[in-house]
Structure 1
Amino acid sequence: GGGGGPLRVVGDRRVTPAGGARPDVSGRVEEIRVVGRTSRIASPAYVYLPPEYFQARHRGRTFPAAVVLTGYPGTAEALVDKLHYPRTALELAKAGRMRPMILVMLRPTVAPPRDTECVDVPGGPQTETFFAKDLPQAVSAHYRVAEGPRSWGVVGNSTGGYCALKLAAHHPEVYAAGAGLSPYYDAPNDPTTGDLFQGDEGLEKRASLWWYLKNAPAPDTSLLVTSSRTGETNYEDTLKFIDLVKGKRPTRISSIILESGGHNFNTWRREIPATLRWLDERLGGGRDS
């Protein structure tokens, strides 16, 4: 990796047990700790680096990157071990179906146990700032991430899916694409969240994707939503959200609708290969220098 930044590598692991120990063949997953310069939030994460990152002929190459988020409460390990994001990215790239990509995998619960819904809570955790500013800056300072406004995407499931869509909508200058697997479209208010908005009606409206895409200037970003006709409670809302975004150029909307599925790892594993390919098609960057 490159120079400084508030990021520390604390361990590493193979992409798959059968992948071999050579990172230039199978890539590597590094365990990191990040401290946000602005938000002061500290969080663990995993970073997947593709084999090309370690190959001598690509020593000067930069790569597009994607933040990958769990649901609530979730564990970052599940993104590696159960949803198989690194292994899927490795297999797709080896098959020529997507470019090599850096994945930054963590849970949106960066102020545990509170579910902050990726909101900048007045007087509380500045979670949106962490994901929109601190995390990309720290990762870019340490790893060879491509520069430019279309180098980053974000994807997540459930709570992470809501966060991914909101981050792309609120910060298109950072995230060129946001994919929500089984997302919802508004921040909940329940015992796990506490009072996220402290009476700030403007902040509460902004956190609603319904309100934001109806009333704010349409962001220049690409969004992907997924659901299932049977087995998923967000199906009707997802169809309404697709219809809403279709008329909001330059925002672009895509969807994956399964015949049957559910709010679970089995369903998301079916959607992840197409989602990674979709992200790859919408991100710029990634070149040898």
Structure 2
Amino acid sequence: MPTGPAAHFTVARRTSAGPVLMTRLKGLKSGWTGKVWVWLPPQYNDPQYARTGFPVVILHTGGNGSGYNYWSNPKVLPAQEDDVRLAGAGKAHPFIMVMPALQPSSHQDTECSDIPGHPKMGTWMGEDVPAFIRANFRTLKSRDGWGTAGASSGAFCAVKLAAEHPGDFKAVVSWGGYFQPDTDLHWSAKGRRANSPDLMLERTRPDLRLLLIAGGSPQSRDEVHRMNALVKLLQPPTVATTYIQPNGEHFTKDLKKLVPMILEFLSANMRGPTNG
């Protein structure tokens, strides 16, 4: 059950799958304040599920994610509508979807890391956001009920945060991702190594289930190379499934087609709603 204190949410967007809520979270550990969008599946407010905990998937946006997360906009990515449809067909869990801001500003991409002199985005995204969700919603205690997915720079963050917190997450999806820091924000050589998801996974071998997706168009060949290079580093109990999207490119129109696959993968590797 929620531990509180309860946050104040506004309705950011009304959809055919129910409202997308939004709040501003000041992280207790990071001290940084950013937007978080949340969608609750229809079952969440059904009296029959009043004592049920729901699985959580944290969805990381790509691009300029300072005040926007395109997973929260069904016109861009119909994740909520797809989840309702797939859950009704028994192909996916009804997820609590959490969609946090990605970076402090449009000119400051900290790649979900705690970089000296910058907001502690690694702490905000990896610790404050999950704690906030547990405080406000009925979730599952076990990491088996927690997953994360991201696109592009959000894929970097999804893999990195799960590698840093393997006790909190079970399943991870990367679409068009990269696996080493790609910004020039005061990274030391030591800091760059410490914040490279590929090296983290190689070193710690966490018990994670990964779905790595790359585009199959000639323009996306670098995605395939990065994906294959990561797979070569992985050892049990880390398990990776790869998929090359035929003719896929690095656009949300291509990601849109893969949302059902992503939700089905997360569902196959995470625990579903559980009675308390």
**TM, length-normalised to structure 2:** 0.91
Deviates more, 1:236-245 or 1:36-45: 236-245
> Which residue among 58, 61, 66 is the counterpart of 2:52?
61
Query: Any unmatched runs of 5+ in structure 1?
Result: 17-25
Contact kept, 8 Å, 1:27 with 1:52, in 2: the verdict is no
Contact kept, 8 Å, 1:256 with 1:271, in 2: the verdict is no
Q: Is 1:218 the equivalent of 2:205?
A: yes
Provide the rounded CA distance (Å) in 2 between the counterparts of 1:5 and 1:176.
26
Provide the rounded CA distance (Å) in 1 between the counterparts of 2:58 and 2:212.
16
Query: Any unmatched runs of 5+ in structure 2?
Result: none
Provide the rounded CA distance (Å) in 1 between the counterparts of 2:103 and 2:5.
22
TM-aligned CA distance change 1:285 to 1:90, over 3 Å: closer
Q: How far 1:171 sits from its partner (Å)? A: 1.0
Contact kept, 8 Å, 2:69 with 2:100, in 1: the verdict is yes
Provide the rounded CA distance (Å) in 2 between the counterparts of 1:110 and 1:173.
26
Provide the rounded CA distance (Å) in 2 between the counterparts of 1:106 and 1:251.
26
Task: Describe how 1:34-73 pairs up with structure 2 within 5 A.
Answer: 34-73=25-64
User: Which residue in the other structure is 2:248 paired with?
Assistant: 261
User: Which residue in the other structure is 1:22 paired with?
Assistant: none
Provide the rounded CA distance (Å) in 2 between the counterparts of 1:13 and 1:3.
26
Provide the rounded CA distance (Å) in 1 between the counterparts of 2:61 and 2:70.
9
User: Which residue in the other structure is 2:73 paired with?
Assistant: 80
Q: How far 1:69 sits from its partner (Å)? A: 0.8
User: Which residue in the other structure is 1:20 paired with?
Assistant: none
Q: Which amino acid counterpart does residue 264 of structure 2 have in structure 1?
A: R
Q: How far 1:122 sits from its partner (Å)? A: 1.7
Give percent identity, aligned residues only.
27
Aligned with 1:225: secondary structure?
strand
Q: Is 1:99 the equivalent of 2:93?
A: yes
User: Which residue in the other structure is 1:10 paired with?
Assistant: 10
Provide the rounded CA distance (Å) in 2 between the counterparts of 1:78 and 1:279.
16
Deviation per CA, 1:116-173, whole angstroms, max 9, x where unpaired?
1011112321111111111000111001111122221110100000110111112111
Q: Is 1:271 the equivalent of 2:248?
A: no
Deviates more, 1:72-81 or 1:58-67: 72-81
User: Which residue in the other structure is 2:224 paired with?
Assistant: 235
Provide the rounded CA distance (Å) in 2 between the counterparts of 1:49 and 1:220.
27
User: Which residue in the other structure is 2:21 paired with?
Assistant: 30
User: Which residue in the other structure is 1:23 paired with?
Assistant: none
Deviation per CA, 1:262-285, whole angstroms, max 9, x where unpaired?
110111011111111111121225
Provide the rounded CA distance (Å) in 2 between the counterparts of 1:189 and 1:12.
31
TM-aligned CA distance change 1:7 to 1:42, over 3 Å: farther
User: Which residue in the other structure is 1:244 paired with?
Assistant: 233
Provide the rounded CA distance (Å) in 2 between the counterparts of 1:213 and 1:56.
41
Provide the rounded CA distance (Å) in 2 between the counterparts of 1:139 and 1:158.
24
Contact kept, 8 Å, 2:54 with 2:94, in 1: the verdict is yes
Q: How far 1:60 sits from its partner (Å)? A: 1.0
Task: Describe how 1:145-156 pairs up with structure 2 within 5 A.
Answer: 145-156=139-150
**TM, length-normalised to structure 1:** 0.87
Contact kept, 8 Å, 1:79 with 1:105, in 2: the verdict is yes
Deviates more, 1:223-232 or 1:55-64: 223-232
Deviation per CA, 1:10-53, whole angstroms, max 9, x where unpaired?
2254332xxxxxxxxx4432122211100011111211100100
TM-aligned CA distance change 1:189 to 1:237, over 3 Å: same
Aligned with 1:99: secondary structure?
coil
Q: How far 1:88 sits from its partner (Å)? A: 1.4
Aligned with 1:15: secondary structure?
coil
Aligned with 1:137: secondary structure?
helix
Provide the rounded CA distance (Å) in 2 between the counterparts of 1:115 and 1:132.
16
Q: How far 1:236 sits from its partner (Å)? A: 1.5
User: Which residue in the other structure is 1:203 paired with?
Assistant: 191
Deviation per CA, 1:205-248, whole angstroms, max 9, x where unpaired?
0212332233x221111111111222313112212222322xx1
Q: How far 1:111 sits from its partner (Å)? A: 4.7
Contact kept, 8 Å, 1:6 with 1:138, in 2: the verdict is no
Provide the rounded CA distance (Å) in 2 between the counterparts of 1:12 and 1:234.
33
Aligned with 2:118: secondary structure?
coil
